[in-house]
Amino acid sequence: MHWTKVHDTKVQLMLALDSAHCGPAMNPTIEIARTIARALSATAAVVLILALWIPTPTLAGEAAQQVCDVDADYYLGVEDYSQAISRHADIVRAHPENALAHYHLGFALGMRGDRAAEVAQYLQAEALGLRNWDLFLNLGLVQFEQGDLDAAAASLQRAVFLGEDHPEAHFNLALVDAECGRLPEAERETLESLRLNPDQPAARNLLAVIYARNGETAEASSIWRDLVREAPAYAPAQRNLNRLGSSSVGAADGETAAATPRAAVVTAILEER
């Protein structure tokens, strides 16, 4: 049995990270919606699947039939993280081999803002044999938040490997790749995320950001114009369209220049297999 814990926690981030191991700084004038912290929004972000029972392929060895405490997980379900931490801490003290309990404890600690303890519990769950795609997704996200982009990329690559059918795994790997300047890889992962779930304004925006950085401004403009029309509540699209227009004519007042969209780029991007 599986149950899904959903949190909608998003921030807007200017991709302007200057890191020696991630290549040149990003253009700070293009805005991308970065999804963090155990989230799944309508624009596709991250989902934590808290499994009460783990099927055999997910865990290694004797841990294959582990369960977590139903009462402890109840407090996760009602977002009482103090109780969730207390109950799961009791479980791991009594049963330190319970990888799933370590994972759930880490999640609860992260929701209370203790990132170091969250990572420690995730790594302990991994060491005990847990191989859930969402474990590595959440581990990668907190590493991303902490600025450890190499570790985040490695964790999110494992999330994609273990959960290749989950669009949020591809999307968040694309975010890390984009922030590190690996634009071809970011484009590939974004397109795969959109193939799996076309209804992701944030992923479409990311794709346009990638195109804009590659100098493909007509393609970027086309995507942002479609987003403005189809998802008017998604503010980054209009702001990015304005910035792209201003940049293209060197305007200082933010006035949007006319752009000539090329043939239905988004249609091809969003076409399902």
Q: Which residue has the tokens 């790997």?
A: 173
* Confidence check: pLDDT of 8 > 50: no
Note the pLDDT of residue 245. Answer: 80
The pLDDT of 152-163, averaged and rounded, is 97
The verdict on residue 177 lying in a domain is yes
31 bridge partner residues = 14
User: What's the pLDDT score for residue 33?
Assistant: 56
Position 31 confidence tier, pLDDT thresholds 50, 70, 90: low
Mean pLDDT over the full length of the chain: 75
Based on C-alpha coordinates, what's the Rg of the chain?
Answer: 20
The pLDDT of residue 22: 52
Of 178, 225, 170, 219, which Cα lies nearest the Cα of 198?
170
Q: Is pLDDT at 270 greater than 70 in this prediction?
A: no
The answer as to whether 206 is a domain residue is yes
Q: Is the pLDDT of residue 7 over 90?
A: no
Q: Residue 137 pLDDT more than 70?
A: yes
> Would you tell me how many other CB atoms lie within 10 Å of the CB of residue 194?
25
Instruction: Please tell me the predicted confidence (pLDDT) of residue 120.
Output: 98
| 31 assigned to some structural domain | yes
Q: Residue 78 above 80 pLDDT?
A: yes
Task: Tell me the sheet residues that pair with 51.
Answer: 2
Is 165 domain-assigned?
yes
232 belongs to a structural domain: yes
- Which two three-digit tokens encode residue 251? 């305007």
Residue 190 lies in a domain: yes
Domain count, the chain: 1
The answer to the question of residue 124 being in a domain is no
Q: Mean of the pLDDT values across residues 159-172? A: 97
217 belongs to a structural domain? yes
Q: Tens of pLDDT along 124-133?
A: 999 999 999 9
Indicate which CATH number applies to the domain containing 158: 1.25.40.10
Confidence of residue 67 (pLDDT cuts 50, 70, 90): confident
**Following DSSP, what letter does each residue of 91-136 receive, concatenated?**
HHHH-TT-HHHHHHHHHHHHHTT-HHHHHHHHHHHHHTTB--HHHH
Q: Residue 20: CB partners within 8 Å, gap ≥ 6?
A: none
CB count in 10 Å sphere of residue 60: 13
DSSP character at residue 224: H
Task: Give the pLDDT score at 273.
Answer: 26
Q: Is pLDDT of 220 > 90? A: yes
Q: Is 2 helix (H, G, I), strand (E, B) or coil?
A: strand
pLDDT of residue 65: 54
User: Is the Cβ–Cβ distance between 205 and 196 less than 8 Å?
Assistant: no
> What is the per-residue DSSP string for 7-69?
---EEEEE-----GGG-SPP-TTSEEEEE-SS---TT----EEEESB--GGGB-GGGGG-B--
Tell me the pLDDT tens digit for each residue of 188-204.
Answer: 999 999 999 999 999 99
Residue 209 structural domain: 2-54+132-270
Rounded (to 5) percent helix, strand, coil in the chain: 60, 10, 35
Cβ-count burial of 256 within 10 angstroms (0-12 exposed, 13-18 middle, 19+ buried)?
A: middle
Alpha-carbon gap, residue 80 to 45, rounded angstroms: 23
Position 62 pLDDT exceeds 70: no
Whether the pLDDT of residue 51 is over 60: the answer is no
